[in-house]
């Protein structure tokens, strides 16, 4: 986990760096607004801790520019309670969370972890066969990184086949599981939808086993 700390007060910056490194983070520090913006743009960080009062460019303005450029890096903002700035501004300009100085280190860590957890949602439930990927939760299918649009029935069919890669699945089994058991559907419907699927995921990925059923090539 890589963090960027943008803070001009040297002692606080050093303390944060040391503390966060002790927690196992990789921490870079920038001490001016422009330097921070540059680092955030190019650095591939997982989150940024950002002071409001900075030389050269305020923290608000920094986030605003970052967001304007379509960077959605999670930002935890540190704002001084007194003075003209207030927390509402911090949120409105695009920060994800904020903390008022003085803050407890434990709280900072908790908020930071919450931010990171949100930032990188783990989704292990993705089916993959060859270069085909199917994400049931997002209802998304990609082939070699390209998204493929499927109808509900097509998706259900592919979903079933991808859970049995390499196996031959009979037409009646598909009718039972992909179609409602209640209504009688002609077996030809399966052939039709296999056809649709082939056009979208690639003809060769879905083999016909004559007299037996279909097999998803691994």
Partner DNA sequence: GTGCCTGCTGTGAGGGCGCTGAGGATGCAG
Partner DNA sequence: CTGCATCCTCAGCGCCCTCACAGCAGGCAC
Residue 154 contacts which entry, a copy of itself, DNA, none (Cβ below 5-8 A, type-dependent) = DNA
Nearest distance from C-beta of residue 131 to DNA, angstroms: 21
Percent composition of the chain: helix, strand, coil (DSSP 3-state, to 5):
40, 25, 35
DSSP string, 12-51: HHHHHHHHHHHTT-EEEEE-SHHHHHHHHHHS--SEEEEE
Binding of a copy of itself by 131 (CB under 8 A): yes
Question: What string marks each residue from 67 to 96 as x (binds a copy of itself by CB under 8 A) or -?
Answer: x--x-x-x------------x---xxxxxx
Count of chain residues binding a copy of itself (CB under 8 A): 56
168-169 and 213-216 beta bridge pairing: antiparallel
Which positions lie near DNA, rule CB under 7 A? 149, 151-154, 171, 179, 183-189, 191-195, 198, 208, 210-213
3-state SS, residue 126: coil
Binding of a copy of itself by 183 (CB under 8 A): no
- Rounded distance between C-alpha atoms, residue 149 and residue 22, angstroms: 46
User: Judged by CB under 8 A, which stretch of 13-21, 47-55, 188-196, 209-217 contacts a copy of itself?
Assistant: 209-217
User: Quick one: CA torsion of 128, 117, 119, 121, rounded to 10 degrees?
Assistant: 20
> Considering beta carbons, is residue 32 or 100 the nearer one to a copy of itself?
100
């Amino acid at each position: 986990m890589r963090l960027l700390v943008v803070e001009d007060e040297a002692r606080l910056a050093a303390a944060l760096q040391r503390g966060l490194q002790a927690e196992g983070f990789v921490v870079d520090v920038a001490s001016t607004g422009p330097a921070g913006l540059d680092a955030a743009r190019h650095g591939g960080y997982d989150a940024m801790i950002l002071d409001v009062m900075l030389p050269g460019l305020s923290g608000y303005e920094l986030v605003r520019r970052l967001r304007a450029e379509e960077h959605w890096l999670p930002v935890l903002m540190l704002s001084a309670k007194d003075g003209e700035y207030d927390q509402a501004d911090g949120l409105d300009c695009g920060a994800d969370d904020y903390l008022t100085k003085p803050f407890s280190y434990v709280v900072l860590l908790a908020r930071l972890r919450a931010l990171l957890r949100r930032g990188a949602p783990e989704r292990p439930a993705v089916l993959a066969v060859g270069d085909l990927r199917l994400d049931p939760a997002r209802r998304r299918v990609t082939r070699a990184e390209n998204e493929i649009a499927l109808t509900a029935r097509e998706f259900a069919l592919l979903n079933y086949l991808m859970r049995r890669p390499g196996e031959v699945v009979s037409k009646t089994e598909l009718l039972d599981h992909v179609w409602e058991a209640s209504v009688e559907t002609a077996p030809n419907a399966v052939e039709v939808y296999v056809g649709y699927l082939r056009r979208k995921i690639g003809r060769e990925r879905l083999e016909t086993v004559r007299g037996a059923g279909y097999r998803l090539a691994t």
